[in-house]
Amino acid sequence: MKTIITSNWRPLRRALLNAPLVSVALCIAALWAVPRSAGAQQLYVSQSGDYIVGEYDAATGAAINASFITGLNYPVGLAVSDNTLFVANQLGNTVGEYNATTGAAINASLITGLNGPAGLALSGNNLFVANLLGTTVGEYNATTGAAINTSFITGLTNPDGLAVSGNNLFVGSYLGTAVGEYNATTGAAINANFITGLNAPGQLAVSDNTLFVVNQLGNTVGEYDATTGAAINANFITTGLNDPDGLAVSGNNLFVSNYLSGTVGEYNATTGAAINANLITGLYFPQELAVASVPEPSTWSMIAVGGVALLGIILRKKRRTA
């Protein structure tokens, strides 16, 4: 008597071919289990010497597009939100809005009528602008550019650097010696002399509860407690600085632009140790910095693409065997 041996594969294969959604479900499970890598990062650098904003790889310092945005009027302040890059044109008294991926202008005159705009900071949909040649910080709608309060904070001395942490807005006064702390909702002073004894405090950056401050004329970057203003290390970074101006922090990396040497350095945001003091070179009066992540494809977009691809394969096989 002949023994008939059957395989479990053919019924299973037949079931999958007749129920493509099952295969798609299996594909979804497999794709869901694949870990996604962190996105790369872009570092934007405003260069007032040649009226451009350049775009660089934050990990290597390599130029992605050294002339990412051109035709500006002494660009200084930068701020990035999602896919939008804001640029302060100090001599044009404007803030422009640009596509952070392509550099194309969305609205080159989003905000007008300013007085030497310098530092920019975002809090939700509110854009704060420091008027270096005035005494004010103004508040604007980041989507429309409409003024919310052009005199949000007044009585300042050449306000320059801005940073937001929670509901606190920090303001550095370039020709002063202090960083002030203000309510980011009302503009009321919490402590106008939050940090004192500085030497031309310029740009600011916040990471968790740490506030980094550029002392432009002192050639240092200081580290302070963002709650109390107490110095953690007033000489946190001294190596490789030459008229430091811009700051940007990303994770455990702190980037510093050097106005006179035309460089951007990279430092450990915990220790202050130089990672690469000459990460980017050959710049023309670099000023402010901004960092943005390049998004990786989302898990669900990968699932959708994979599922559609697998479904197409299954249906094609069915047509061939029909």
Measured distance CA(179)–CA(156) in Å, rounded: 10
Residue with tokens 């096989």: 317
pTM (2 d.p.): 0.82
Measured distance CA(284)–CA(281) in Å, rounded: 9
Say yes or no to pLDDT of 317 above 60. no
Percent of the chain with pLDDT over 90: 77
Residue 28 lies in a domain: no
Best CA proximity match to 205, nearest among 159, 245, 238? 245
Residue 130 lies in a domain: yes
- Do the bridges between strand 231-237 and strand 244-250 make them parallel or antiparallel, or are there none, so unpaired? unpaired
Taking all residues of the chain, what is their mean pLDDT, rounded to a whole number? 86
Q: What is the pLDDT of residues 155-164, one digit of tens each?
A: 999 999 999 9
Output Rg (C-alpha) for the chain, integer angstroms.
Answer: 26
Residue 195 lies in a domain: yes
Residue 233 lies in a domain: yes
Q: Is 193 helix (H, G, I), strand (E, B) or coil?
A: strand
Number of domains in the chain: 1
Calculate the CA dihedral of residues 256, 259, 262, 266 and round it to 10 degrees. Answer: -10
Residue 274 lies in a domain: yes
* CATH number, domain with residue 288: 2.130.10.10
Residue type, 99: N
Q: Which domain holds residue 270?
A: 113-293
Residue 14's φ and ψ, nearest 5 degrees, are -65, -40
Contacts of 134 (CB under 8 A, 6+ apart): 115, 116, 159
More confident residue, 296 or 103: 103
Residue 75 lies in a domain: no
Residue 279 lies in a domain: yes
Q: Is 151 helix (H, G, I), strand (E, B) or coil?
A: strand
Residue 128 lies in a domain: yes
